[in-house]
Amino acid sequence: MKTLNFTFYRPTQLLFGENNIERLPTLIQKEQKILLLYGGGSIKKNGIYDRTKQALTGYHVVEFGGIEANPHYETCMNAVAIVKQEHIDLILAVGGGSVMDAAKFIGLASKLPDTADPWQSAVLESGQCQDAVPIAVIPTLAATGSEMNAGFVISNIGLQEKRAGGNSLVIPKFAIMEPSATLSCDARQTSNGIADAYVHVLEQYLTQDQGETLQSYWAEGVLKTILAVAPRLMANLQDVDARGIFMHAATMALNGMISMGVSSDWATHMIGHELTILYGIDHGRSLTIVMPNLWRVRREAKLGRLAQYGRNVLGLTGTDSEVADQAITATQVFFQSIKMPITLSEAGISSDAIDRISQKVADRGDSFGEDGKVDSSMIKEILTLSK
């Protein structure tokens, strides 16, 4: 057990609950120039766009739509040009994690000198950035926790790379969290979000033996909340109370609270990102295929944690070994209950993905996981089990 040692900084003002969009004028100075950033148009169908524009009456607002799911570097760079040209003071992202992530990258890249390579400087080495255009968000899909963290994931289509960046300068200044804004998410988007948030917690909880720390109990609480609310949500997508409970849990799942001072895994995500960039699979669906089989391959290293998860979250009983195996199976059953794939073939991905991804990781010399041991050969084992 290592002693606690961490820095926690999350300066996001959360305005949680209905009718908060109308409070925008209390959060933004009149003279600020705003870039209103959004995706493919869902906000124009569900009324969020109209309410946001109405609230920003009298402000200088420049709009940029078309941010893709799994945001493209190339599209974001078009927005960077506008932010520079219009001397934007605040980027207001209205949408899901892809739009919020794009805003963060754009905020960093817009402050780079023209001589810099934005992919290198504002993604791969984003932690070094010293300046950013401030970000604020109105999330419309509960999943990523991007509304209250420093992270973002950008896909470079030209390079066929989907990579994560992060910098505390782009932690959203405020997040207007209206559960009703997520009511228009369909079953697929909703289950993607449930899976993503659930796996976020497990990436930070199911690592070295953290023992019975406060972080563990917080994490177990978020996991139990998601397990309890998921069936309600999948049974009635219009259950705004359930939407709110899940939206809150998804934010707390990845705002840094449960990872204070403890190790994190993230190998499932790193492998999942390769599945998404190479095969176009939704982020959440890549995770439900990989995580249970990563646990099977890493069973010995994670046995104690798997048993703790099985007992404290899933209510399983038996020896550590029995509970660990039951916990893996029970997690797959949960993913199937929200209509998520647990194999590559279910997601329409052929087994050539196994060599393709493990070779790509080998070529980059990468290895992942809390102990850096998830290398290309282990990835091959994990994906072979996932066929």
254 binds, among ligand NZQ, Zn ion, none (CB under 5 to 8 A by kind): ligand NZQ
Of 147 and 196, which has the nearer Cβ to Zn ion? 196
- Tabulate helix, strand, coil % of the chain (nearest 5): 55, 10, 35
- Least CB distance to ligand NZQ at residue 304 (A): 25
Q: Total residues at the site for Zn ion (CB under 5 A)?
A: 1
> CA 272, 273, 279, 284 torsion: positive or negative?
positive
Contact (CB, 8 A) for 133 and 110: yes
CB of 253 to Zn ion, least distance (A): 9
Among 101, 161, 196, 325, binds Zn ion (CB under 5 A): 196
User: Using CA atoms, how far apart are residues 291 and 361, in angstroms rounded to an integer?
Assistant: 17
**Residue 152 contact among ligand NZQ, Zn ion, none, beta carbon within 5 to 8 Å by kind:** ligand NZQ
From the list ligand NZQ, Zn ion, none, which binds 136 (C-beta under 5 to 8 Å, kind-based)?
none
Which residue number, 111 or 269, has a Cβ lying nearer to ligand NZQ? 269
- The DSSP code for 29 is -
Please give the span between the terminal C-alpha atoms of the chain, in angstroms, as a whole number.
Answer: 36
Structure tokens at 222: 């978020």
Based on CB atoms, which residue is closest to Zn ion, 15 or 290? 290
- Distance between CA 384 and CA 39 in Å, rounded? 35
Give the residue with the Cβ less far from Zn ion, 285 or 298. 285
The site partner of 308 among ligand NZQ, Zn ion, none (C-beta below 5 to 8 Å per kind) is none
Residues 76, 64: Cα–Cα separation, whole Å: 10
Comparing CB distances to ligand NZQ, the nearer of 112 and 277 is 277
Provide CB contacts within 8 A for 315, sequence distance 6+.
Answer: none
Q: How many angstroms separate the Cα of 63 from the Cα of each of 38, 132, 323, 354?
A: 8, 19, 52, 41
Q: Which residue has the tokens 């995580």?
A: 291
Least Cβ distance, residue 113 to ligand NZQ (angstroms): 26
Residue 266 carries which DSSP code?
Answer: -
Site for Zn ion in 159-178 (CB under 5 A): none
- Count CB-CB contacts under 10 A for residue 185: 22
Least distance CB 272 / ligand NZQ (angstroms): 8
Nearer residue to Zn ion within complex by CB, 101 or 196: 196
- Give the nearest distance from C-beta 267 to Zn ion in angstroms: 12
Q: In angstroms, what CA-CA distances link 276 with 69, 70, 120, 349, 357?
A: 11, 8, 21, 11, 11
The answer to whether 73 and 17 are in contact (CB under 8 A) is no
CA distance 387 to 365: 24
Could you give the angle at the alpha carbon of 179 between the alpha carbons of 37 and 73, nearest 5°?
Answer: 25
Shortest Cβ 273–Zn ion spacing (Å): 9
The CA-CA-CA angle for residues 223, 224, 227, to 5°, reads 90
Residue 151 CB, nearest distance to ligand NZQ (Å)? 4
- The stretch near Zn ion (CB under 5 A) out of 32-40, 103-111, 191-199, 212-220 is 191-199
Residue 165's binding partner among Zn ion, ligand NZQ, none (Cβ under 5 to 8 angstroms by kind) is none
Find the shortest distance in angstroms from Cβ 271 to Zn ion: 12
* 4 vs 187 by CB, closer to ligand NZQ: 187
Of all residues in the shown chain, the one whose CB is closest to Zn ion is: 196
Whether 187 contacts 237, CB under 8 Å: yes
Nearer to Zn ion by C-beta: 178 or 196? 196
- What residues make contact with ligand NZQ under the rule CB under 6 A? 39-42, 46, 69-70, 95-99, 101, 140-141, 143-146, 149, 151-153, 181-182, 184-185, 189, 192-193, 196, 254, 269, 283
Considering CB distances under 5 to 8 angstroms, the limit depending on partner class, which of Zn ion, ligand NZQ, none binds residue 293?
none
Q: Which residues pair with 16 in a beta bridge?
A: 177
**Among Zn ion, ligand NZQ, none, what binds residue 69 when CB lies within 5 to 8 Å by partner kind?**
ligand NZQ
Phi first, then psi, for residue 166 (nearest 5°) are -175, 145
Q: Which is nearer to ligand NZQ, 12 or 192 (CB)?
A: 192
Contacting residues toward Zn ion, per CB under 5 A? 196
